[in-house]
Amino acid sequence: MFKKNILIIIAFFGLTLVADDISVLYKRAQILEARGKIKEAMLLYKALATKSLKPKNQKITTKTQDRSIITYGDNSIEGYSHESTDKSIREIIFSSFDVKPYKMNYLLPSTYDFVSHSNRKDTETKFQISFKKSLAKDLFGGRNELFLGYSQTSWWQTSAKSSPFRETNYEPELFMVFPYAKKQSPLKAYTIGILHQSNGQGGRVSRSWNRVYLSGIFQKEGIFIIPRVWYRIPEHQKTDINDTSGDDNPDIYKYLGYGDLRITYPYKKHLFTLLLRDNFKFDGTNRGAVQFDWTFPLPWISDTFGYFQIFSGYGESLIDYNKRNDKIGLGFAITR
């Protein structure tokens, strides 16, 4: 009887070493149990349990969305837990560090301005890079998240000789998002932030301003309405045009006003957005802007969208904050 049990144990553990599918062994154990061979079935269950346990130093693997397996290796580094070390390795491999897209990231290889301007071509390339990094969550005992954001928009005279960059606007900002959890409310979240915008130039072409803003996200059925109001942080008047400090554009509010309104409508894989801005002056100095964005799927490229943009009005770029532009552009967006 003892020899028989030894043979059963050897046979069952041998099966665990050669079997490719654990479900097959599990079914065999169920059959033995149904036939009243409880001891043999328990031995097989024990073998299955042993097989399912991971060794202490087993290599850590993560299955990505495309179902391929990526092996990080043995993370037994003295002074660190396996979990924190694995996170650091993933950040290094994928260069993620919890950085996420913020505003739209896009490239418009060709844009055309129907308004002619001196010292520039009417056709140029425009692109934008934007991302954000979460800094903290649930501050002050509430549901909120603090972000550091950065956006950069460039206008590139690719149709001109030597193809110079005509203008680049830089926008670092710090903002906090507060989700609004009350049921049946059209308000979904609101944001408070501080934003700097400048073009990195000096002298007569220097442009910059700082704002604090408040925005909200409202939903009405399938339409999202995002109003934003801002207050410009005052700067002292420049005594010399070449001063690096002081107000570069004291009249910018006359053209960009004190806020804007964004209306977004998603339809299947299409996204339509309308941006409206106005200074609300009706004494002959009314200025504003309208921008229409349409992103649509590209069937032959995954996670990339075609992008059509129309802009008309003032303030498309800081250098043109007091000049009118009527532009149209076509390209693609990798985030929206």
- pLDDT 10s digits, 110-126: 999 999 999 899 999 99
What is the model's pTM? 0.74
Share of the chain above pLDDT 70, in %: 78
Domain containing 173 — which CATH number?
A: 2.40.230.10
pLDDT tens by residue, 79-100: 555 666 666 766 666 666 788 9
Share of the chain above pLDDT 90, in %: 58
216 and 294 fall within a common domain = yes
Q: Does the pLDDT at position 21 exceed 60?
A: no
Q: Does the pLDDT at position 204 exceed 50?
A: yes
**Is residue 196 flagged as an active site residue?**
yes
pLDDT at 233: 96
- Nearest Cα neighbor of 113 from 153, 151, 155, 154 is 155
The DSSP bridge partners found for residue 262 are: 226, 275
3 and 69 fall within a common domain = no
Indicate the SS3 state at residue 255.
helix
pLDDT at 284: 85
pLDDT-wise least confident of 8-22, 74-88, 217-231, 262-276: 8-22
pLDDT at 282: 86
Q: Which residue has the tokens 């059925």?
A: 221
235 and 107 fall within a common domain = yes
Distance CA 216, CA 220 (A): 13
pLDDT at 82: 62
**Catalytic hit among 82, 198, 302, 312:** 198
Give the pLDDT band (50/70/90) at residue 46: confident
**Is residue 302 flagged as an active site residue?**
no
Residues whose CB is less than 8 angstroms from the CB of residue 243 and which lie 6 or more positions away in sequence, other chains included: none
pLDDT at 84: 65
102 and 170 fall within a common domain = yes
Average pLDDT, the chain: 84
pLDDT-wise least confident of 21-25, 193-197, 304-308, 312-316: 21-25
308 and 228 fall within a common domain = yes
172 and 318 fall within a common domain = yes
16 and 141 fall within a common domain = no
Distance CA 175, CA 320 (A): 26
**Catalytic hit among 196, 236, 245, 317:** 196
pLDDT at 85: 67
Q: Specify burial of residue 10 (Cβ count, 10 A radius: 0-12, 13-18, 19+).
A: exposed
Q: Does the pLDDT at position 152 exceed 90?
A: yes
- Helices (H) and strands (E) counted in the chain, each on its own, are 5, 15
Alpha helices per DSSP H over 122-260: 253-256
166 and 78 fall within a common domain = no
**Cβ–Cβ under 8 Å, residues 73 and 303:** no
153 and 283 fall within a common domain = yes
pLDDT tens by residue, 136-150: 999 887 789 999 999
116 and 48 fall within a common domain = no
Contacts of 243-246 with C-beta under 8 Å, sequence gap 24+, read 244/202
80 and 127 fall within a common domain = no
Please list, residue by residue across 283-306, b when 16 or more beta carbons sit within 10 angstroms of its beta carbon and e when fewer do: eeeebbbebebebbeeeeeeeebe
Q: Which residue has the tokens 């950069």?
A: 152
* Alpha-carbon distances, residue 262 vs 107, 217, 225, 307 (angstroms): 21, 10, 6, 17
Give the pLDDT band (50/70/90) at residue 62: very low
User: How many CA atoms within 13 Å lie on the side-chain side of 178?
Assistant: 14
Overall number of domains in the chain: 3
Identity (one letter) of the amino acid at 112? Answer: Y
196 and 177 fall within a common domain = yes
**Mean pLDDT of the 241-262 span:** 91
Please list, residue by residue across 136-145, b when 16 or more beta carbons sit within 10 angstroms of its beta carbon and e when fewer do: eeeeeeeebb
Distance between the two ends of the chain, CA-based, in angstroms?
A: 72
**Cβ–Cβ under 8 Å, residues 325 and 288:** no
Q: What is the domain extent for residue 135? A: 98-335
- Nearest Cα neighbor of 70 from 52, 55, 90 is 90
pLDDT at 253: 94
